[in-house]
Amino acid sequence: MIDIKLIRENPELVKENIRKKFQDEKLVLVDEVAEMDKQFRYAKTTGDALRADRNRISKQIGLLMREGKREEAEEAKQKVRDADQQLLDLEKQEEELAAQIRERMLVIPNIIDPTVPIGKDDSENVEIQRYGEPVVPDYEIPYHTDILESLDGLDLDSARNTSGNGFYYLMGDVARLHSAILSYARDFMIGRGFTYFVPPFMIHSNVVTGVMSFAEMQNMMYKIEGEDLYLIGTSEHSMIGRFLNTTLKEEKLPYALTSYSPCFRKEVGAHGIEERGLYRVHQFEKQEMVVVCKPEDSKAWYDKLWQNSVDFFRSLDIPVRTLECCSGDLADLKVKSCDVEAWSPRQKKYFEVGSCSNLGDAQARRLGIRIKGENGNYFAHTLNNTVVAPPRMLIAFFENNLQADGTVRIPEPLRPYMGGQELLVPAKEKKNTI
C-alpha cells in the first residue's frame, strides 16, 4: 500500500506507475481516492472545529447557571446537543470514507523501482546472469516422476485416491532426501547469520490482507471453514505477520530470519505437461528468508537474499540463472523482484525454483510495522526470498544428478543428512543385490 501523500501531492506519478504495470483499469482509483481524501479531511477538520466549539460552549453552561441565566444556559445545552448529533454524523462519514479509501488503496500497486524492466508479463522478464555450466548429458533424462518411481520413491496414484490431483506420497530414500535438503537449507541459512523459526501454519484474515494482494489471496489461500483462519501459502505470511502493529527499535534492526513451513496453495488454472507431477502441487515444504530492515538498507539486503539462493543451489552443483521480473509480472505489493531458475537437462531450459522480492514499506503500512527513530517513527521495509522449496526443487536435483546407469549422485553437502549415503540406487537393482 502506497503513502496517500503520493496521491495528494503527485497523482500523475501514481498513474504512470499503474500504466507501467499495464493495469489501466485502475487509473480511475487514483482520482476516486483523491476526491474521497478531500472529503475525509474536510469532515475531520469540520469535526475538530465543532468539538472545540462544543467544548467552549459546555464550559459556559455552568457559568450561566451560576449567574441565573437559565434561559441562555438551556440554549447553550441545545447547541451542545446539536453539536453532538453533527459530530456523530461526521464521525460516521469519516469512518465510511476511510474504509472506502483503504479498499481502493489496497488495490493501487506499489511504486516499482526505477531499475525494473517494463514489460506486460513473464515472457518479457530479463535474464541477469547464469551460474554454473548447463549440461545436457549424452544419455536420456526421463520425466522426473519416472526417475522417482524407478527409485521406489513416489506414489501419485494413492495420493489421488486420498486427496486428489496435486498431491503425492514421497517414500524411502526420496523422502529422506527431501528432508535432507530442507535440513541442509536450514543449516545453510543459520550459517549465514539468520535466526531459525518454525512459525504458525495458519493466520487470521487481517494478516493475509496485510502481506498480499486480494487477487493473490483469492488464487492462493485455503480458508478454514467457519473460522477466521487461512492456511499459509508460504511462511513469509506468518513471519511478517509476527510484527503486526509493532514499533521496532532502530538499533535492533535488521531482523534476518529463516523459517521452515509446509505451504498450501490452490494453484488455480490449467497447467501443461511440464507442470504436472511435482512441479505445481497443492502442498509442499519450504525454507524461506525474511528480512525486516531500515528503508535505506533494503536494496543491499535484496542482493544478499537472491545471492544466498544462488549459492545454495551451486553448493549442490545445480546450474541456475537469475531473471529480473518485468513490471507486468510484479505482484502489486512488490517494488522489485527476481526469480532464481534451475537448469533442466531434460527440457534443455531453466525453470523457476524460487523468487526474491523487495516490498518496500507496502506490507509495513498494511500491518502497522514501524521503526522508532531519533526523529520519529517511520515504516520498515520487508523482503522475502525462497531458499529452497521441494518437491519442485527435486526435479532439478534428480535431473542434474542422474547418471547413465540410473543411479542418482548425492552431492557431498547432503551426505551427512543421508547417513553418509553417496548414491540412490533404482529399486530393481536393490532387489538384485539381495
Q: What is the pLDDT of residue 1?
A: 83
Give whole-number Cα distances, 201 to 119, 166, 204, in Å: 35, 19, 11
Report the C-alpha gap between 238 and 137 in whole angstroms: 42
- Which CATH number does the domain housing residue 416 bear? 3.30.930.10
Helix (H, G, I), strand (E, B) or coil at 18: helix
The verdict on 160 and 279 lying in the same domain is yes
Return the CA Rg of the chain. Answer: 28
> Is the same domain home to 231 and 376?
yes
For residue 415, give the 3-state DSSP assignment.
helix
- Is 286 part of any domain? yes
In a domain, 271, yes or no: yes
Looking at residue 139, what DSSP letter applies? Answer: S
* Average confidence (pLDDT) over 226-252: 96
Does residue 335 share a domain with residue 294?
yes
C-beta of residue 425 within 8 angstroms of C-beta of residue 152: no
Among 105, 140, 161, give the residue marking a domain's end.
105
Residue 343 lies inside a defined structural domain of this protein = yes
Domain-ending residue, one of 62, 77, 105? 105
Domain that holds residue 83: 4-105
* Sheet architecture: strand order including 247-249: 247-249, 370-373, 376-379
Contact between 161 and 200 (Cβ < 8 Å): no
Give residue-wise pLDDT tens across range 269-318: 555 555 678 999 999 999 999 999 999 999 999 999 999 999 999 999 99
pLDDT one-digit tens code per residue, 36-45: 999 999 999 9
Instruction: Answer yes or no: do 90 and 129 share one domain.
Output: no
**Residues 317 and 409 placed together within one structural domain of the fold:** yes
| Phi, psi at 272, each rounded to 5° | -75, 180
**Per-residue pLDDT at 274:** 57
204: left (phi over 0), alpha (psi -120 to 50) or beta: beta
CA max distance for the chain: 112
Q: Are both 288 and 412 inside the same structural domain?
A: yes
Cα–Cα distance for residue pair 281/374, rounded to 1 Å: 47
Domain for residue 114, yes or no?
A: no
Q: Is residue 429 part of a domain?
A: yes
For the chain, the domain total comes to 2
Q: Is the pTM of this model over 0.75?
A: yes
CATH number of the domain enclosing 42: 1.10.287.40
Q: Are strands 230-231 and 202-203 parallel, antiparallel or unpaired?
A: antiparallel
Domain end position, chosen among 42, 70, 105: 105
Angle at 364 between CA 27 and CA 332, to 5 degrees: 30
Q: From CA 373, how far away is CA 240, in angstroms rounded?
A: 20
